[in-house]
């Protein structure tokens, strides 16, 4: 009995402890807390659109006399809120400027992955049978493949290139979208309204696009928000390994990577971009799960 109930609500005693932590965090947010999360995201978006408004200094201006200033110290140019790096560049400004590429890569890669995953999930879930098995095996093979190694392989073949990120990162997320959408499509195709649209005379593409897709869209959106966070993290990892974004472009991941050799003398160069990255991923996750929990009852 409990299995049946768990199946229907998607909740249940068997869920991993990880989910309880999220549940508690979401509860802590209360009914208005999500506004804070959205504000934070809006800040990030604003910083990527108009970084100059937020950055107090030119992010590329070097000043060797004010190298490795700690957070809060000042140079002749003014206050360096989060300190400076080995070339005397203002860390806060660099983080602000790095937001654009970080967000761009994360959002683009997630959207590409979502596109592939949604298409495959809809086709597999609606048609079932051989198509379904093929697509899902493909997803599993993809998941089993160590994408970081593939990325490094591509790097050695093609040289450093942001394009590699837009190939590798979507590969990491599409199977997740495919699984969720497939499960929804499997459930929905048994609904009478799908049968009714067949009886009405809808073509398969109409059924997939006009009936199935809008009914899974809320879940896709929630998943997108969560996955953008994960992709950010992966991009940071790849940039850290030197596969991703190359200087003079910068992302948070690259900042972390650049600061690493100096961890002992200038901790802020690694820790502070790391904290920003961590908070962003957490916020995206919380927001996604919050919406998911809110809309859960309404389907």
Partner 1 sequence: MSETAVAGATLEAGSADAAASPRGVLEVNDVVVQFDTDGGRITAVDGVSMHLATGETLGLVGESGCGKSTLARAIMQLVPMQQGSVRLEDTDLGTLSRRELRRMRHRIQMVFQDPRGSLDPRMSVSSLIGEPLRVHGIGDRAGRARSVAEAMELVGLPEAVADRLPSELSGGQQQRVGIARSIVTAPAVLVCDEPVSALDVSIQAQIINVLDELRDELDLAMLFIAHDLSVVRHLSDRVAVMYLGQIVETGTASEVFTEPRHPYTQGLITSVPRADAESAARLQTARRLVLGELPSLLDPPSGCRYRTRCPYATDECAATEPPPEAVDHAGGLHWVRCHHWRGIAAGSAPQPSSNSQEQAP
Binding residues vs partner 1 (CB under 8 A):
191-193, 195-203, 206, 211, 214-215, 299
Nearest approach in angstroms of CB 197 to partner 1 is: 7
Q: How far is the CB of 293 from partner 1 (least distance, A)?
A: 20
Give the Cα separation of 96 and 57 in Å (integer): 10
35 token code pair: 């506004």
Q: Which residues contact 28 (CB under 8 A, 6 or more apart)?
A: none
SS (H, E, C) 191-203: CHHHHHHHHHCCC
Nearer to partner 1 by C-beta: 74 or 204?
204
Q: Which is nearer to partner 1, 219 or 230 (CB)?
A: 219
In the complex, least distance from residue 200 CB atom to partner 1, rounded to whole angstroms: 5
Query: Which pair of structure tokens corresponds to residue 58?
Result: 């030119």
Q: How far is the CB of 69 from partner 1 (least distance, A)?
A: 55
Q: Which is nearer to partner 1, 9 or 200 (CB)?
A: 200
Q: Which is nearer to partner 1, 154 or 216 (CB)?
A: 216
Q: State in angstroms the smallest separation of the CB of 285 from partner 1.
A: 26
Count CB neighbours of 200 within 10 A: 10
- For 128-259, where are the alpha helices, taking DSSP H only? 129-144, 147-158, 162-188, 192-200, 204-206, 213-240, 252-259
- Of the candidates 230, 220, 242, 239, the one whose C-alpha atom is nearest the C-alpha of residue 292 is 220
Q: Chain-centre distance of CA 32, in angstroms?
A: 23
Residue with smaller CB distance to partner 1, 31 or 192: 192
């Amino acid at each position: 009995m409990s299995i049946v109930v768990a199946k229907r609500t998607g909740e249940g005693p068997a869920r991993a402890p990880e989910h309880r932590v999220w549940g508690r965090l979401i509860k802590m947010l209360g009914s208005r807390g999500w506004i804070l999360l959205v504000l934070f995201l809006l800040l990030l978006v604003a910083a990527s659109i108009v970084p100059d408004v937020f950055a107090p200094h030119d992010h590329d201006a070097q000043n060797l006399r004010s190298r490795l200033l700690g957070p809060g110290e000042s140079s002749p140019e003014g206050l360096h809120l989060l300190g400076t790096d080995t070339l005397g560049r203002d860390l806060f400004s660099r983080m602000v400027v790095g937001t654009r590429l970080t967000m761009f890569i994360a959002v683009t890669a997630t959207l590409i992955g979502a596109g592939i995953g949604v298409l495959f999930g809809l086709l597999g879930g609606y048609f079932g049978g051989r198509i379904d098995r093929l697509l899902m095996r493909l997803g599993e093979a993809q998941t089993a493949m160590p994408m970081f190694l593939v990325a490094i392989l591509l790097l050695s073949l093609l040289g450093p290139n942001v394009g590699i990120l837009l190939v590798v990162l979507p590969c990491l997320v599409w199977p997740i979208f495919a699984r969720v959408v497939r499960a929804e499509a499997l459930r929905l195709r048994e609904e009478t309204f799908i049968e009714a649209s067949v009886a009405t005379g809808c073509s398969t593409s109409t059924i997939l696009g006009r009936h199935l897709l809008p009914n899974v869209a809320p879940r896709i959106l929630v998943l997108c928000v969560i996955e953008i966070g994960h992709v950010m993290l992966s991009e940071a990892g790849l940039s850290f390994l030197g596969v991703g974004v190359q200087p003079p472009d910068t992302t948070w991941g690259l900042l972390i990577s650049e600061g690493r050799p100096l961890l002992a003398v200038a901790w802020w160069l690694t820790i502070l971009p790391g904290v920003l990255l961590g908070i962003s991923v957490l916020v995206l996750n919380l927001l996604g799960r919050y919406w998911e929990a809110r809309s859960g009852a309404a389907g």
